[in-house]
Amino acid sequence: MNEKKNWLQMLKFTLFSASAGLIQIASFSLLELFIKNYWVCYLPSLLLSILWNFTLNRRYTFKSAANIKVAMLKVLGFYAVFTPLSTWLGHLAEQAGWNDFLILALTMIANFVLEFLFCKFVVYRGQEDTLVTETKNQ
């Protein structure tokens, strides 16, 4: 049963991350039309993606009643390391002539894998399936 739960969590996380990825790509693309600077386009699109992904995964993937502020601070801690590193590496890749959308795709894949592991084993460890859902009396 635990293995089935883990697979279901990975599937949900993947689907929600894909939707967050669409938000990130759309906002990055829109900014890229007007601003030809990778990191200036990358940072706002990443923030939109983070907020979307955090909200959906907390509620539906990990079903956690963990303190929202504490959980978000942990996620922000992850991004306090990931964002400067990915922005710097993205900038170096851009300077080396890499395509901005290739850089974005590789960064998003790394983000997806690392964030799932961080959420599973740090943010929501011991607090999964603690969210009580309201049921309507019929």
- Domain membership of residue 31 (yes or no) is yes
- Domain membership of residue 24 (yes or no) is yes
- Domain membership of residue 112 (yes or no) is yes
pLDDT at 39: 81
Q: How many separate domains does the chain show?
A: 1
pLDDT at 135: 43
pLDDT at 63: 92
pLDDT at 133: 62
pLDDT at 136: 47
- Domain membership of residue 57 (yes or no) is yes
Q: What is the DSSP string of 58-109?
A: IIIIS---S-HHHHHHHHHHHHHHHHHHHHHHHHHHHHTT--HHHHHHHHHH
According to DSSP, residue 122 is labeled: I
- Domain membership of residue 129 (yes or no) is no
- Domain membership of residue 91 (yes or no) is yes
Q: Tell me phi and psi for residue 124, to 5 degrees.
A: -110, 10
Domain that holds residue 32: 2-123
- Domain membership of residue 118 (yes or no) is yes
Q: What is the pLDDT tens value at each position of the chain, 138 positions in all?
A: 688 888 999 999 999 999 999 999 999 999 999 998 888 998 899 899 999 999 999 999 999 988 999 999 999 999 999 989 998 999 999 999 999 889 989 998 998 999 999 999 999 999 998 987 644 444
Query: Closest Cα partner for 114 from 86, 60, 78, 73?
Result: 78
Residue in the structure block whose two tokens are 């959980």? 71
Residue in the structure block whose two tokens are 């200036």? 40
- Domain membership of residue 134 (yes or no) is no
